[in-house]
């Protein structure tokens, strides 16, 4: 055992010395690395300190101020090639233009009625037809007519008997066979019989029949001349006395043009004033009418009131047509107008060119209005009477673009 210990002891001592050497070497390496890192940190810190030490080195370069360019100012070589026009004042009454539709005059609508109940056997006119007064429209087979003729014939027979008895009573009275009272009774009976005949005959005439020509057919005629604007009956249909109207006839010699006017524009219209109506189908034809009514109730959804214009129909107006109504106010106002060629329309905006100093023109924005007589256009804002503008703005625009 001792021999074993003595044999391995040198080996243990060698390994211990080697471990100690490795540890010492590692310590030296760690110290050197730490020193190197510390040195690098000091160098970086010094660099940062030197950089922040001069703030002028980090400041941006000074900005260069460039004078603003007036993009609305344009220079031309020969301004005399563009004649100028003066804006002038124009006195006119303001106008209001609204859309409208043609409607029938209700006071000129006449219903066609039947006083007899029966079945339709013939229709002689249709919806949209133009008819004359007294024209046959409808034929109806009715039991009312048969009963009317029966009552009429009975009344005729009763009157014949009453007349014969009256003649006999007169002869008897002349011979003193009867008293005055009996004669008067006979006369009264005759008068009553005549009244019954007249009543029954008139009843047949109201039903559209001639008492002298018995027939079971009731014929209905047009009460006025006009256009059939409504039809509520067909072939073989039933008709009720004083029920729904088989036809409606409209006299279209005068019609209504009904407009929708916004509540903000209502002060510009008044009852009795004149209005100009232009039909979309005939834009060159101007029809003058008169305002007869302004609706007392506004449409709550679009905030408009119905304005009614009564116009005479020259023959071309049809119901349902679209039209444009123009209202003119009585009080005149002053507007600025320039030639239409002086206004240039670019990107939904109106522009005009005004002369400036140094052979230049300035483009200014204006708000244009409606076209006025003599090819002049109204300027709502941007120009005042007396100011000068280029008469042909389009020509100047082309010159500037070149």
Average pLDDT for runs of 10 along the chain of length 402: 44 42 50 53 48 52 49 80 87 82 91 85 89 89 80 88 90 87 90 90 80 80 89 82 85 93 88 92 92 92 92 91 87 81 88 87 86 83 89 86 76
> What pLDDT score does 89 carry?
86
CATH 2.40.420.20 fits 73-92+332-401, yes or no: yes
Total count of residues recorded for the chain: 402
Among 364, 366, 362, residue whose Cα is nearest residue 337? 366
> What pLDDT score does 145 carry?
80
The full 3-state SS of 32-83, as one line of letters, equals: HHHHHHHHHHHHHHHHHHHHHCCHHHHCCCCCCCCCCCCCCEEECCCHHHCC
Task: Give SS3 for 307.
Answer: strand
The count of C-alpha atoms lying within 13 angstroms of the C-alpha of 254, restricted to the half-sphere facing its C-beta, is: 13
> What pLDDT score does 14 carry?
40
> What pLDDT score does 177 carry?
85
Using alpha carbons, list the distances in angstroms from residue 245 to 112, 114, 195, 241, 346. Answer: 6, 8, 32, 9, 59
DSSP single-letter state for residue 374: G
Cα 112 from Cα 207, distance rounded (Å): 13
> What pLDDT score does 402 carry?
73
> What pLDDT score does 57 carry?
55
User: Is this structure's pTM higher than 0.75?
Assistant: no
> What pLDDT score does 132 carry?
92
DSSP single-letter state for residue 295: -
> What pLDDT score does 311 carry?
94
> What pLDDT score does 282 carry?
92
Query: Domain 118-244, what fold?
Result: Helix Hairpins (1.10.287)
> What pLDDT score does 150 carry?
83
Tell the CATH superfamily of the 97-104+250-328 domain: Efflux pump adaptor protein, beta barrel domain (2.40.30.170)
């Amino acid at each position: 055992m001792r021999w074993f210990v003595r044999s391995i002891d040198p080996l243990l001592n060698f390994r211990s010395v080697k471990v100690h050497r490795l540890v010492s070497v590692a310590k030296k390496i760690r110290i050197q690395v730490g020193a190197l890192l510390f040195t690098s940190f000091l160098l970086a810190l010094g660099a940062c300190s030197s950089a922040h030490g001069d703030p002028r080195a980090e400041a941006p370069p000074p900005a260069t101020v460039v004078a603003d360019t007036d993009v609305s100012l344009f220079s031309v070589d020969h301004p005399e090639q563009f004649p100028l026009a003066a804006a002038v004042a124009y006195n006119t009454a303001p106008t209001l233009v609204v859309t409208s539709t043609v409607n029938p005059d209700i006071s000129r609508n006449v219903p066609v009625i039947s006083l007899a109940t029966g079945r339709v056997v013939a229709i002689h006119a249709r919806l949209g037809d133009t008819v004359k007064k007294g024209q046959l429209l409808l034929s109806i087979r009715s039991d009312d007519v048969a009963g009317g003729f029966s009552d009429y014939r009975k009344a005729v027979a009763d009157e014949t008997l009453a007349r014969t008895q009256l003649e006999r009573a007169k002869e008897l009275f002349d011979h003193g066979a009867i008293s005055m009272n009996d004669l008067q009774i006979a006369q009264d009976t005759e008068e009553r019989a005549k009244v019954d005949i007249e009543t029954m005959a008139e009843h047949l005439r109201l039903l559209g029949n001639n008492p002298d020509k018995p027939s079971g057919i009731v014929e209905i005629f047009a009460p006025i001349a006009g256009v059939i604007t409504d039809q509520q009956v067909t072939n073989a249909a039933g008709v009720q006395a004083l029920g729904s109207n088989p036809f409606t006839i409209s006299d279209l010699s005068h019609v209504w043009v009904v407009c929708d006017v916004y509540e903000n524009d209502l002060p510009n219209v008044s009852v009795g004033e004149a209005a100009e109506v232009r039909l979309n189908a005939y834009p060159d034809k101007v029809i003058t009418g008169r305002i007869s009514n302004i609706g007392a109730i506004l449409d709550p959804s679009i905030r408009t009131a119905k304005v009614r214009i009564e116009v005479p129909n020259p023959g071309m107006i049809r119901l349902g047509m679209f039209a444009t109504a123009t209202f003119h106010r009585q009080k005149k106002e002053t507007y600025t107008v320039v030639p239409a060629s002086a206004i240039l329309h670019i990107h939904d905006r109106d522009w005009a060119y005004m002369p400036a100093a140094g052979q230049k023109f300035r483009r200014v924005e204006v708000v244009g209005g409606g076209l006025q007589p003599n090819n002049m256009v109204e300027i709502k804002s941007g120009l005042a009477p007396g100011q000068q503008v280029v008469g042909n703005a389009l020509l100047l625009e082309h010159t500037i673009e070149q």
